[in-house]
């Protein structure tokens, strides 16, 4: 009667998981190995196996070295508390060959997490992706095969994540996939490079094939989408978010796969601040014909997909020095050529931009381009007040003869009653990130 619990306690201490009833408390292996960063992934897997159903998992206030991929899915009625640093290794060769697939664009993830009725609280702890190695390796190119998403929430129902802080994510910071009723509150993402290379593809939040989602109270510094609703995202509310040097709030990209339609409906972005961003509030789709990329990188080829984007609202935005505050483009990845820009098979309708104010970096406030094949009905502007930075300083707009804010449009059904003060025709090859004024 006495020996059994002693043996059990010895076994759990050896694995550095202390189990008391339904609570598993994690301690890093480094505490027993003179600070050596031994992989804590086996202990983490053991803790979730022991206490991931009807229990509690606690990461103590220490540094955990995560040197191998994590799969903590199929959890149920579980509470997780992260009080220390989760430091993922920067072994690029390992991660490129051992991360878990997330299917979309052949992407992978370092941590696959999910379950039903799960609460995760970052109680002073944080996720350190050590992304600098990836930024330097990537050298400002596009998607690098095997570069892992930091944390993917998969096959989850009633998942609540509060206080998640991700420093230097390896790739996209968070990804919600095949889930419903998932909330991320008080989210912080900081993808900042310490050398000359940028932080491309460090999206703060992406969702795909998921429904009933919330992102609330977030501060995101990164080099790509702040928050993005990808294909088959429905009923997403994004509220009280600051985007710093990102590409803003977006629908898309969608329409990449000709065999799988995309439907994005009932999405609201509200109370958003875009500070020094390249974009602010925009919608991007692929063109209607498939294009193969010579770069041979995952996610760079596509087009020809069909579907619907409907009932989208961007409201209560404050733009500060944003290169392109408002955009709708149906050929975002063939912007350098007009050969296929007018072929989009995506229908876009019922989109409202309301109460958006602030400054544009150049002399363009908005570019709304809908294809001839699918013109856009019910596109509305309400109370839009955007002026170039120079204009607010009483200075002339440089390097252009146009001294007014440009609102360019094409194929907007009912444009005269839309509230959009169209004063230029939107070209079919206007870039997502302009580098200068419209002349």
The CA-based angle 181-186-188, given to 5 degrees, is 115
Give the DSSP letter of residue 105. G
How is residue 434 written in tokens?
């302009």
How is residue 285 written in tokens?
């789709």
In contact, 45 and 68? CB cutoff 8 Å: no
Alpha-carbon gap, residue 132 to 197, rounded angstroms:
9
**Cβ neighbours for 372, distance < 8 A, ≥ 6 positions apart:** 342, 411
Alpha-carbon gap, residue 22 to 133, rounded angstroms:
38
Alpha-carbon gap, residue 389 to 242, rounded angstroms:
20
Give the DSSP letter of residue 201. T
Residue by residue, DSSP assigns 142-191 as SPPTTPEESEEEES-EEEEEES-EEES-SS-SEEEES-EEEEEEEEEEE-
Measured from the Cβ of residue 141, the count of other Cβ atoms closer than 10 Å reads: 13
Measured from the Cβ of residue 134, the count of other Cβ atoms closer than 10 Å reads: 27
How is residue 224 written in tokens?
């790509």
SS3 for 286-336 is CCCCCECCCCCCCCCCECCCEEEEEEEEEEEEEEEEECEEEEEECCHHHCC
**Cβ neighbours for 54, distance < 8 A, ≥ 6 positions apart:** 22, 76, 77, 78
* Catalytic residue check, 39: no
How is residue 166 written in tokens?
């991700």
Give the DSSP letter of residue 417. G
In contact, 368 and 326? CB cutoff 8 Å: yes
Catalytic residue among 40, 90, 203, 224: 224
Alpha-carbon gap, residue 348 to 370, rounded angstroms:
8
How is residue 228 written in tokens?
């993005």
Which residues are known to be catalytic? 224
């Amino acid at each position: 009667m006495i020996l059994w619990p002693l043996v059990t306690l010895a076994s759990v201490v050896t694995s550095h998981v202390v189990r008391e009833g339904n609570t598993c408390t994690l301690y890093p292996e480094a505490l027993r190995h003179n600070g050596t960063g031994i992989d804590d992934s086996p202990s983490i897997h053991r803790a979730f196996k022991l206490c991931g159903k009807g229990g509690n998992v606690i990461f103590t206030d220490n540094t955990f070295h995560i040197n191998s991929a994590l799969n903590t899915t199929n959890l149920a009625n579980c509470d997780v508390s992260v009080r220390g640093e989760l430091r993922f290794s920067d072994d690029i060769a390992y991660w490129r060959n051992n991360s878990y697939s997330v299917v979309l664009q052949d992407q992978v993830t370092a941590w696959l997490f999910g379950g039903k009725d799960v609460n995760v609280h970052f109680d002073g702890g944080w996720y350190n992706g050590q992304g600098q190695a990836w930024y330097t390796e990537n050298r400002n190119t596009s998607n690098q095969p095997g570069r892992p998403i930091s944390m993917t929430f998969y096959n989850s129902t009633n998942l609540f994540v509060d206080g998640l802080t991700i420093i230097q994510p390896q790739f996209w910071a968070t990804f919600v996939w095949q889930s419903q009723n998932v909330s991320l509150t008080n989210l912080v993402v900081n993808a900042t490079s310490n050398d000359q290379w940028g932080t491309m593809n460090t999206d703060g939040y992406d969702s795909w094939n998921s429904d009933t989602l919330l992102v609330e109270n977030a501060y995101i510094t990164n080099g790509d989408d702040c928050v993005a609703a990808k294909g088959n995202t429905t009923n997403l509310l994004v509220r009280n978010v600051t985007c710093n040097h990102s590409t803003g709030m977006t629908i898309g990209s969608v329409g990449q796969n000709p065999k799988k339609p995309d439907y994005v409906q009932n999405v609201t972005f509200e109370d958003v601040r875009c500070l020094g961003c390249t974009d602010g509030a925009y919608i991007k789709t692929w063109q209607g014909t498939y294009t193969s990329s010579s770069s041979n990188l995952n996610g760079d080829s596509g087009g020809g997909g069909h579907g619907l984007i409907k009932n989208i609202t961007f409201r209560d935005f404050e733009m500060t020095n944003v290169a392109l505050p408002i955009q709708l483009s149906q050929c975002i990845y063939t912007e350098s050529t007009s050969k296929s820009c007018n072929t989009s098979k995506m229908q876009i309708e019922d989109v409202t931009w309301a109460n958006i104010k602030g400054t544009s970096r150049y002399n363009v406030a908005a570019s709304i381009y809908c294809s001839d094949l699918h013109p856009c009905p019910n596109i509305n502007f309400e109370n839009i007040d955007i002026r170039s930075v120079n204009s607010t300083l009483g200075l002339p707009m440089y390097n252009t003869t146009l001294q007014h804010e440009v609102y360019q449009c094409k194929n907007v059904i009912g444009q005269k009653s839309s509230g959009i003060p169209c004063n230029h025709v939107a070209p079919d090859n206007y870039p997502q990130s302009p580098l200068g004024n419209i002349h």
